């Protein structure tokens, strides 16, 4: 389809186009004219977005079955969205990561943050895991994979179709290996530790790269002491702490497969003798250790998103407060507590308030010594708060 033949999506007369002109990447269903012809367009169709006066605002991908009815692909209304366009965007994303990291283990594409809305790609050396969480990316998946392979030389590409985002787009949840083979967990070097990433059966893409700088900071706090990593997954904070000189680390998670990968990572990194795991519900474990009088020099809690949407915000904030209340008593006098949230609906201010309230309810008093975010391979879109979802608060709890 040529640029001239493209369908048009038009804003309603009373819709203010200034936010879109200034860079907002999403257009919502109540902002546009959705007539019968527009509603008939297949999800992922590339269209020209116009304001009510028929002035072109850019090229968008449409999905009338989603609350986000259009995602901005290019501000240039004459841009042709195809393999060449994908190569430019992916090339720019790759150049940033190669400037940041010496080894090819990172988030290569962070959706809107890299100008590829709804598309996530994590790289694991010669393998990559791709999450096409928007309909346009699903339609152009073959082109994306071809460009990815050409630019990076990866020999294996896995499609991960799990997650809430694809469901909201009306997409299926069928994951598959698109190219090459993957038969075992992939060892990933990060912060001096070795992690084992399950690219086909693990959570999300197999490993969370976003916590890299926060794990490095936690490793400094844990040097020479005992640390506790709650909601540990594959040992994210615990293995970094051990690599940084912690005396010992205990990883708590409800997932046996995740803890098995954590143990393999500890053994691969030569720190297995100082590493222990505990398979249990995190809240139950925190309560039990509190009753037993356990104390650690560093406690880290990195739970799943308790507030994945605005509707879940109040319950999520109560859960974050509860985590802080149960974790604070486990910190030795003068020790450290790091609390994390990956809920974009709970902004930094609300999360900090919930955390401080929980620490206070536990009868502890803390100094906030660092506020951390995702690493630079997770660039934020300045006008999309969702891309800055991760928060990590480090407290020193007073003696």
Q: Residue 237: enclosing H or E segment and its boundaries?
A: helix 236-243
Q: Residue 164: enclosing H or E segment and its boundaries?
A: helix 164-168
Q: Rounded to a whole number, what is the distance in angstroms from the first to the last CA of the chain? A: 68
Secondary structure class of 292 (helix, strand, coil): coil
Nearest to 38 by CA among 65, 2, 9, 13: 9
Q: CA–CA separation, 174 vs 160, rounded Å?
A: 8
Q: CA–CA separation, 236 vs 234, rounded Å?
A: 6
Nearest to 151 by CA among 207, 184, 104: 104
Catalytic annotation on 342?
Answer: yes
Rg from Cα positions in the chain: 23
Q: CA–CA separation, 167 vs 133, rounded Å?
A: 9
Q: CA–CA separation, 305 vs 300, rounded Å?
A: 15
Q: CA–CA separation, 193 vs 226, rounded Å?
A: 17
Q: CA–CA separation, 390 vs 378, rounded Å?
A: 10
- Which token pair is 301? 């809690």
The pairing of beta strand 26-28 with beta strand 68-74: antiparallel
Catalytic residue among 156, 301, 340, 342: 342
Which positions are catalytic? Answer: 342
């Amino acid at each position: 389809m040529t640029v001239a033949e493209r369908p048009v999506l038009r804003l309603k007369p009373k819709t203010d186009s200034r936010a879109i002109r200034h860079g907002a990447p999403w257009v919502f269903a109540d902002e546009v004219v959705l007539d019968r012809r527009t509603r008939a367009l297949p999800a992922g169709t590339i269209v020209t977005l116009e304001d009510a006066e028929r002035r072109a605002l850019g090229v968008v991908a449409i999905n009338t079955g989603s609350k986000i009815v259009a995602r901005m692909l290019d501000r240039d209304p004459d841009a042709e969205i195809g393999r060449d366009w994908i190569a430019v965007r992916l090339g720019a994303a790759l150049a940033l990561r190669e400037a940041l990291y010496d080894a090819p283990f990172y988030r290569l594409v962070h959706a809107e943050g890299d100008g590829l809305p709804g598309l996530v790609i994590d790289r694991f050396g010669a393998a990559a895991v791709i999450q096409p969480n928007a309909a346009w990316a699903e339609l152009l998946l073959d082109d994306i994979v071809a460009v990815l392979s050409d630019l990076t030389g990866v020999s294996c590409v896995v499609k991960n179709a799990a997650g809430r985002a694809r469901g909201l787009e009306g997409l299926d949840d069928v994951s598959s290996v698109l190219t090459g083979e993957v038969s075992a967990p992939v060892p990933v070097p990060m912060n001096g530790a070795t992690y084992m990433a399950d690219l086909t059966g693990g959570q999300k893409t197999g490993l969370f790269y976003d916590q890299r700088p926060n794990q490095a900071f936690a490793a400094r706090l844990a040097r020479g002491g005992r640390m506790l990593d709650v909601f540990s997954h594959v040992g994210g904070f615990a293995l970094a702490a051990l690599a940084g000189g912690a005396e010992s680390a205990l990883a708590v998670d409800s997932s046996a497969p995740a803890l098995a990968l954590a143990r393999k990572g500890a053994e691969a990194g030569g720190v297995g003798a100082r590493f222990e795991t505990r398979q249990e519900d995190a809240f139950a474990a925190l309560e039990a250790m509190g009753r037993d009088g356990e104390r650690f020099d560093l406690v880290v809690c990195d739970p799943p998103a308790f507030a994945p949407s605005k509707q879940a915000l109040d319950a999520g904030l109560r859960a974050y407060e509860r985590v802080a209340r149960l974790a604070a008593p486990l910190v030795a006098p003068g020790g450290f507590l790091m609390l994390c949230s990956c809920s974009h609906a709970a902004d930094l201010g609300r999360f900090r308030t919930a955390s401080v309230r929980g620490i206070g309810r536990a009868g502890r008093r803390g100094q906030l010594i660092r506020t951390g975010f995702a690493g630079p391979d997770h660039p934020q879109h300045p006008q999309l708060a969702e891309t800055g979802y991760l928060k990590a608060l480090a407290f020193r709890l007073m003696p």
